[in-house]
Structure 1
């Protein structure tokens, strides 16, 4: 069967954007199961699925059949250890096969996987394992001591499986020994719980976001758009496989379409290493945060033989110079910004073949998602140009989360009528482009003016003297609040009074006079979440 004729494939083969918005609908088969979608539906099960690159130079290729058989064995092994349908299983593994295999095994069983970052300290890891009630964990050797420190404080945790060498737990390989290679999938639907992803905590305590089996196919229309429709290729991201930005933006949608993904358990991001990986594996599509792109802009890309055809990016400002760099240095490769959140990812994006990107805009709503700018109190849609809260219709949308784990009241607090409120402020212009302003709770009110920090950060990042920036409001007796910027100077630059005055004038000239930062504090480094976002709420606490 041609994949394009298979109802299990999410197709976006329309002539134009308006037709796609009008004609597309979700039509997921009955008995939908993620593992079948990602592994078993492909006409060629021996096609490469995972191209594994180990830091020691080893290279391994896993086919869809390989991943299916290995995850079957793991599912059988976990069941023999008492893991049941609905149980939560933590995955604390970098970009290694064991990461994906654990997720796939859970979904085959009807269990719920729990992606967790290897960068978490004891407090962060312990909170998530305890809050989720995880009964088992598959943990990389690099987090051995952290797991040891928190396991006694997680009463539901019965099984810890170790990955790699010297992990001190039951070895992953031993768990699989003797397990059968066949496994009958649990009965599931697109609404069956599948995965809990914790928010980054950038605006409060991390919350467990419960998604169902339909979540990854829900990402596929956006994947088709920001990779410009021609999806046959090789995909890679340096982003941690613990976050929806890696798993949902790239890994699992690529497998939905039967395309290989490169796995690279890297440490700190190195732009030259990134170029080398992209060259070696002939990567055609990649998800790169803007911070990573800016680092890559400092390296001569012409020394690498690249096959890149499209880049998607999101999570922080995508400034105009990034688009210009891709046009000039990468031969016109599109860099398509996207918008989403852990609770409802990939709602808005760009697609150059359908409409031109506008620097600073997130793009247009993805087909299949009813995205609006509304009054958060009433849910009433606001006219073009007016700032309100970005919202998405919940019913029938597979990317919208089911609930906050153990926090039903919190789920209700972000719901108005049929809509999920994202907590992000933005506007919609006359041409249908969305413009992000700020988080609702990051809003600065100064002298009666409502100011979003994102806009000021975008301007400051345009200045050559700025590497990173976070903007917050600080109390002021006269104005209520004033704008304060915390600036990490660019390499080779130092914070000085001259640079401070230059930056203040730079913002004042590009934005309204009331938006310029009346205070600027220089720092060698700014606090970040594990996803790379500036933790604005921590800037005033250091």
Structure 2
């Protein structure tokens, strides 16, 4: 399959990959027809999706079956009046119906807005009006349907509500009955264009209202790098990415790249994360590839992993936060597998990663992807040298790469701020070592300037997290007359340490940071709290901590 989209698919080393990787984007690409239906025509009995849940249920879908189901799903949604360009919000957790829905919407040419089940009435009202959403398809959980119904009086654009069950509220459509009675959708004579939007993703909004990231029809092709050259997937892989479908990580790891390379997607539909359950399904279903945040691996290595048959596991990838060397080393000792990091944003696909050809450096994101023209720019606008911090940018003056977002929906001002003079500014800071590996520092707005030093919160948080007392922490800067700013740590303690909260533990944590990282980065002020302010997606809102500290001042 990927041979159609790459000039060259096999590479001898990273230098070969860097020099010769080239994506061929055909005209009028449509992932649903060209990839899903393409596999159905070529290998109809090839397994596409293996869905399981925490109740012991499982269902397997071949590409041939998916084509038939998604044709009828598209026919049903079309009969409800959903057409090309219409906005449809999907709140579907890890249910199999998510895959039916997103592929069907791609066939129609409609736009999917993935959403988490954690949204409240206020969140739903905001999204409905910001994107002029026409229909909502969601899990029939009572809490979800209640929030949606409560949002309706302030959501004039909503025309249809669809539930997949078990509850079908009054006035709602029944997803499964609709599919059962629907006529298969016929591919339109007018094809979708590569610049047609297929996804609008609401960012987590760590500094304000969520932004709407627009991704177009060519976007899925950029995930060939994600699946083939980061996750190292192949025709016989069974891949699990631990992510809810409400976040873009789902299409990173549960859809586009995986099916482009012909791998099978494994889904574990669960309500509560339990490390032993994850290990059990990895063993039972002989999963070959796993992608998850480092936090997941921290929990896994605390289990007795010798009780589980992980012999099928070939490859593991991580993203989203710093990887402590202790976790890397322990997981390697237990499995023989090296955890490989990656970095990207809602606005991009995988941008920096540790490929199969290079040796991982625990804590480093890896090397820049040749799919993007990536640079680190200093505040003066020059490329950063080895050992120097800079903002991660993507140069777009010579080529606008597939996978990079089209802009922020209905917000030209923000789009212009992010993209100017042929450059996309990620807003993320990193530094480069002598081998070219990039190391994440933090958001540009979060960097602390103290006594002439630039201190990234990420590295201090990573140091603190290696102490057993710390469950979570957030690093911020607070004003200081002498130093300009000083480093403050807001810390959630482990249960066994809560009684020790006080000056003695503060000193212990400060000394610990001095030993783990450069001493000047240690937090001069530490506050113990029960919880940290977060976005719906679980990202820490450092801006809220700063605002609260300023109010106290």
TM-score tier by shorter-chain length is over 0.9
Moved more, 472-481 or 97-106: 472-481
SS of 1:346's partner is coil
* Superposed displacement of residue 540, structure 1: 5.0
Name 2:186's counterpart in structure 1: 183
Name 1:338's counterpart in structure 2: 342
1:534 aligns to 2:540 (yes or no): yes
Q: How does 1:60-459 map to 2 (within 5 A)?
A: 60-142=59-141, 143-168=144-169, 169-185=172-188, 187-228=191-232, 230=234, 232-306=236-310, 307-330=312-335, 332-351=336-355, 353-375=356-378, 378=381, 380-394=382-396, 395-459=399-463
Q: Could you tell me how far apart the structure 2 residues matched to 1:9 and 1:57 are?
A: 40
Q: Could you tell me how far apart the structure 2 residues matched to 1:94 and 1:81 are?
A: 23
SS of 1:336's partner is strand
Question: Residues 226 and 492 (structure 1 numbering): CA distance in 2 closer, same or farther, change over 3 Å?
Answer: farther
Superposed CA RMSD: 2.0
SS of 1:268's partner is coil
Structure 2 stretches of 5 or more lacking a match?
549-553
Q: Deviations over 1:75-121 (max 9, x none)?
A: 12222222221111111101112111111111111111110001112
Question: Residues 86 and 523 (structure 1 numbering): CA distance in 2 closer, same or farther, change over 3 Å?
Answer: same
SS of 1:150's partner is helix
Q: Could you tell me how far apart the structure 2 residues matched to 1:261 and 1:162 are?
A: 24
Q: Could you tell me how far apart the structure 1 residues matched to 2:266 and 2:364 are?
A: 30
SS of 1:177's partner is helix
| Contact 2:448 2:476 (8 Å CA) reproduced | yes
Q: Work out which of the residue numbers 13, 35, 38 in structure 1 matches 2:35.
A: 38
1:20 aligns to 2:17 (yes or no): yes
Q: Could you tell me how far apart the structure 2 residues matched to 1:412 and 1:393 are?
A: 15
Name 2:551's counterpart in structure 1: none
1:503 aligns to 2:505 (yes or no): no
* Superposed displacement of residue 10, structure 1: 8.5
Question: Residues 309 and 478 (structure 1 numbering): CA distance in 2 closer, same or farther, change over 3 Å?
Answer: same
| Contact 2:475 2:489 (8 Å CA) reproduced | yes
* Superposed displacement of residue 357, structure 1: 1.0
Q: Could you tell me how far apart the structure 2 residues matched to 1:286 and 1:250 are?
A: 11
SS of 2:269's partner is coil
Aligned length: 536
- TM-score, structure 2 as length reference: 0.92
SS of 2:488's partner is strand
SS of 2:166's partner is coil
- TM-score, structure 1 as length reference: 0.94
| Contact 2:219 2:403 (8 Å CA) reproduced | yes
* Superposed displacement of residue 459, structure 1: 0.8
Q: Could you tell me how far apart the structure 2 residues matched to 1:78 and 1:238 are?
A: 28
SS of 1:409's partner is helix
SS of 1:145's partner is helix
Name 2:26's counterpart in structure 1: 29
Q: Could you tell me how far apart the structure 1 residues matched to 2:161 and 2:379 are?
A: 43
| Contact 1:226 1:311 (8 Å CA) reproduced | no
* Superposed displacement of residue 37, structure 1: 3.5
Q: Could you tell me how far apart the structure 1 residues matched to 2:390 and 2:113 are?
A: 33
